[in-house]
Chain A
């Protein structure tokens, strides 16, 4: 079949890696179309940019730890893009968030020092670049913490969080209060929408102010607004007269949705096209060159012609790489060759759920420019790459951003070479 539509680049997947690659390419003038079966991991992730949190001990200064980490893990995506490529990617991201649709909302931090932020269960998680609305949660601060639970949100247990923070040596206590949401139960997104409303916020702040002790900082689940998080956060800090910070919650993640909204706005502003619902189910190939991808659209498949394809569909955890009942692993979207697949007879999983599963390092085999093996023009970004265990390393969005930027650079270099020729 001949393509219905032609683009310079088709990006498959709309998580941080896909949207980053697409936005950067569009900013450099490429005609880009993003195809996604559904919304990606942004809505499930905490919204922080973790670059290197554990190696395997907790990392305080990612900038100085990255060199040794990359040498010890030559197969890791960081080794392919180079440790030096990470900082510019973070800077690009921070700048785009600031220019984004959420006025004044910004990220803070760098590779010099990880923020040590509380999780919803009161553990400490290292993260390099974090929303301003979370930064004041740093465990390094001596200020006592008051963890505030909201009764309608059953996914956040203030007393559990405060108890574990105390065990980590941080003075903290828990309180619970009500926020009128018109129903008995609500998720963090419902609360974030509610707090975007200045009147609901004022009432909430008034109620909360009476329960606080002097010199406490306030920890809230990450529900401080969706449209205007900077406004919500600033308003609460002002009304309460003290530091306020968000703690990432169970999905849906308001902070993650803010990232999605900002990157999507950036892509659209740069003229990129975005198609949600269109699942890519195959490719048209001429030898090693992929000339088009085939996507399920309503009524029939649509063929999207492309000179370059970026695969950013996630890995084993998102279903982009699957293990069949015959124990054969395959990349589902384009049928690309994999790397890191355990040999027959070797263990694929371990009995420990949060332990080291050999399958989790499986990804699409790529060269140093992140080009998929056996193809001329397919590049891979994010969790589809092999050699990383993001949830152990604390490296998820660091990999997504740095490889998203790297594939954009790889495509643009080759596009430039083609144009020159």
Chain B
């Protein structure tokens, strides 16, 4: 079994665990709820029992939000979050996956259904009695933040768009958030790339499978991500880079799909993984080489910046902060709260919404204290949660760069 082989590889990392508790200090979920005992317990410690067929604390591992901060903090290289993802998959295999998790983890299906009837769908999602019914029937919390369907698809614009020809070519991976909810952001990404001399290719593409993976639906997640890799790989074969603005989805392509879904041997994914950049990561490298267009006009605004967990998982620091510092007039407050709480679809779930809000409280309070009117953040689901928790608009850093370029 493919699962067993790669699981073994992850498991070998747990022998490096010295029980130092550093991962416990990083975990945003265990800090607010006893339902998750913490990454050390649920990960390396429980894994030793699971290996012998015992089932310690089956329920708790589902409360891991999969943010990955434990793995990033571990000084010994233990793949804690990845082990937890596997344990969650094992539980789902035995106990089954709720219908809700099969629905909310398919953004392409939801997007195709919602887009043509966007006004009705949006009104329904904001109509409380309907949300109460949905909560009762499916277990999606009535207060959880859900985005508005844009009513149009990014692809429709992309097909018509003529990117200026250039020797510098780049592939744009826009993700489902841009496709169905924030097509404007996608247009701004393309404009910023073109302003920096790129010819932007936008191949037909689907979902990366991350929501499925984080709900333990590994089989479907593999199908989605491999299909996406096959769509992107032919455009990246000659060394062309792939760039994305959905930071969780670019991380899925770079690392999570290979490590968690055990797809190390998929050649298309290997290529895509190497060539993919998060948009701010790419722009910072351009700046370092002196190739970033820096004709920024002043943006007189105070923003708070939150680096989402999955952006941190790229292990490249906070490139957005360095980029925003280039904009004259812009005052940026770096927030050091760990997580907004939503973790993709985690905070939508009835039994987890309260936990998600408690996790996010620190961030929301920091935003309030900063006095910022706008919160910049690289991940769309986190932005929706931040807007929900702070009543302030939240934008991708690229929107501020776009504004400063006066495009």
CB of B140 to closest CB in A, whole Å: 26
CB pair A275–B315 under 8 Å, yes or no, is yes
CB of B232 to closest CB in A, whole Å: 13
Indicate which residue in B22, B31, B314 contacts A39 across the interface (CB closer than 8 Å): B22
**Residues of B contacting A190 in the complex (Cβ-Cβ under 8 angstroms):** 31
CB pair A298–B255 under 8 Å, yes or no, is yes
Report the separation of the CA atoms of residues A43 and B75 in the bound assembly, to the nearest whole angstrom: 11
CB of B390 to closest CB in A, whole Å: 19
Report the separation of the CA atoms of residues A14 and B74 in the bound assembly, to the nearest whole angstrom: 12
CB pair A297–B316 under 8 Å, yes or no, is yes
CB pair B75–A39 under 8 Å, yes or no, is yes
CB pair A276–B316 under 8 Å, yes or no, is no
| Chain B 303-323 per-residue mask, 1 if CB under 8 angstroms from chain A, else 0 | 000000000111111000010
CB pair A299–B255 under 8 Å, yes or no, is yes
Q: How large is the interface on B (under 10, 10 to 19, 20 to 34, 35 or more residues)?
A: 20 to 34
| Chain A 244-280 per-residue mask, 1 if CB under 8 angstroms from chain B, else 0 | 0000000110000100000000001000011111110
**Residues of A contacting B291 in the complex (Cβ-Cβ under 8 angstroms):** none
Looking at A181-189, A345-353, A378-386, A404-412, the stretch in contact with chain B turns out to be A181-189
CB pair A273–B322 under 8 Å, yes or no, is yes
CB of B134 to closest CB in A, whole Å: 30
Query: Contact residues of A with B, CB < 8 Å?
Result: 4-6, 33, 36-40, 43-44, 182-184, 187, 189-190, 193, 251-252, 257, 268, 273-279, 295-300, 302, 318-319
Say yes or no: A38-B24 contact (C-beta < 8 A), given A274-B317, A278-B316, A298-B313.
no
CB of B207 to closest CB in A, whole Å: 19
In the complex, the chain A residue whose C-beta lies closest to that of B34 is A183
| B284 contacts partner chain A, Cβ-Cβ < 8 Å | yes
**Residues of A contacting B315 in the complex (Cβ-Cβ under 8 angstroms):** 275-278, 295-298
**Residues of B contacting A6 in the complex (Cβ-Cβ under 8 angstroms):** 288
CB pair A300–B317 under 8 Å, yes or no, is no
CB pair A39–B77 under 8 Å, yes or no, is no
Pull 12 A–B residue pairs with CB atoms less than 8 Å apart, ordered by A.
Answer: A4-B285, A39-B75, A43-B21, A43-B25, A44-B20, A182-B34, A187-B21, A275-B315, A277-B73, A277-B315, A278-B315, A279-B77
CB of A226 to closest CB in B, whole Å: 9
| B254 contacts partner chain A, Cβ-Cβ < 8 Å | yes
Query: Contact residues of B with A, CB < 8 Å?
Result: 20-22, 24-26, 31, 34, 71-77, 251, 253-255, 273-274, 276, 284-285, 288, 312-317, 322, 334
CB pair B75–A38 under 8 Å, yes or no, is yes
CB pair A298–B20 under 8 Å, yes or no, is no
CB pair B26–A275 under 8 Å, yes or no, is no
**Residues of A contacting B73 in the complex (Cβ-Cβ under 8 angstroms):** 38-39, 276-277
Say yes or no: A4-B24 contact (C-beta < 8 A), given A273-B317, A296-B315, A298-B255.
no
CB pair B285–A43 under 8 Å, yes or no, is no
Say yes or no: A5-B288 contact (C-beta < 8 A), given A37-B75, A252-B25, A299-B255.
yes
Report the separation of the CA atoms of residues A54 and B39 in the bound assembly, to the nearest whole angstrom: 37
CB pair B31–A299 under 8 Å, yes or no, is no
Report the separation of the CA atoms of residues A275 and B72 in the bound assembly, to the nearest whole angstrom: 10
**Residues of B contacting A279 in the complex (Cβ-Cβ under 8 angstroms):** 77
Residue with the greatest number of chain B CB neighbours at <10 A, chosen from A36, A38, A182, A295: A38
Report the separation of the CA atoms of residues A193 and B358 in the bound assembly, to the nearest whole angstrom: 13
CB pair B25–A257 under 8 Å, yes or no, is yes
CB pair B22–A189 under 8 Å, yes or no, is no
**Residues of A contacting B255 in the complex (Cβ-Cβ under 8 angstroms):** 298-299
In the complex, the chain B residue whose C-beta lies closest to that of A319 is B76
CB pair A299–B254 under 8 Å, yes or no, is yes
CB pair B21–A276 under 8 Å, yes or no, is no
Report the separation of the CA atoms of residues A5 and B75 in the bound assembly, to the nearest whole angstrom: 24
Known A190-B31, A252-B24; further 17 A-B contacts with Cβ < 8 A: A37-B77, A38-B77, A187-B24, A251-B20, A251-B22, A252-B22, A275-B315, A275-B317, A276-B312, A277-B73, A278-B315, A278-B316, A296-B315, A297-B315, A299-B254, A319-B75, A319-B76
CB pair B316–A39 under 8 Å, yes or no, is no
**Residues of A contacting B322 in the complex (Cβ-Cβ under 8 angstroms):** 273
**Residues of A contacting B24 in the complex (Cβ-Cβ under 8 angstroms):** 187, 189, 252
In the complex, the chain A residue whose C-beta lies closest to that of B41 is A185
**Residues of B contacting A189 in the complex (Cβ-Cβ under 8 angstroms):** 21, 24-25
CB pair B21–A268 under 8 Å, yes or no, is no
**Residues of B contacting A33 in the complex (Cβ-Cβ under 8 angstroms):** 317
CB of B21 to closest CB in A, whole Å: 4
In the complex, the chain A residue whose C-beta lies closest to that of B325 is A271
In the complex, the chain B residue whose C-beta lies closest to that of A269 is B334
CB pair A40–B75 under 8 Å, yes or no, is yes
Report the separation of the CA atoms of residues A189 and B25 in the bound assembly, to the nearest whole angstrom: 7
Report the separation of the CA atoms of residues A183 and B75 in the bound assembly, to the nearest whole angstrom: 28
CB of A261 to closest CB in B, whole Å: 8
**Residues of A contacting B274 in the complex (Cβ-Cβ under 8 angstroms):** 299-300
Residue with the greatest number of chain B CB neighbours at <10 A, chosen from A189, A252, A277: A277
| 7 interchain residue pairs of minimum CB distance | A299-B254, A38-B75, A277-B315, A183-B34, A275-B317, A277-B72, A298-B255
CB pair B72–A276 under 8 Å, yes or no, is yes
**Residues of A contacting B22 in the complex (Cβ-Cβ under 8 angstroms):** 38-39, 43-44, 251-252
Say yes or no: A5-B25 contact (C-beta < 8 A), given A37-B77, A273-B322.
no
**Residues of A contacting B31 in the complex (Cβ-Cβ under 8 angstroms):** 190, 193
Indicate which residue in A39, A183, A319 contacts B25 across the interface (CB closer than 8 Å): A39
CB pair B21–A252 under 8 Å, yes or no, is yes
CB of A40 to closest CB in B, whole Å: 7
In the complex, the chain B residue whose C-beta lies closest to that of A314 is B75
**Residues of A contacting B26 in the complex (Cβ-Cβ under 8 angstroms):** 39
**Residues of B contacting A302 in the complex (Cβ-Cβ under 8 angstroms):** 316
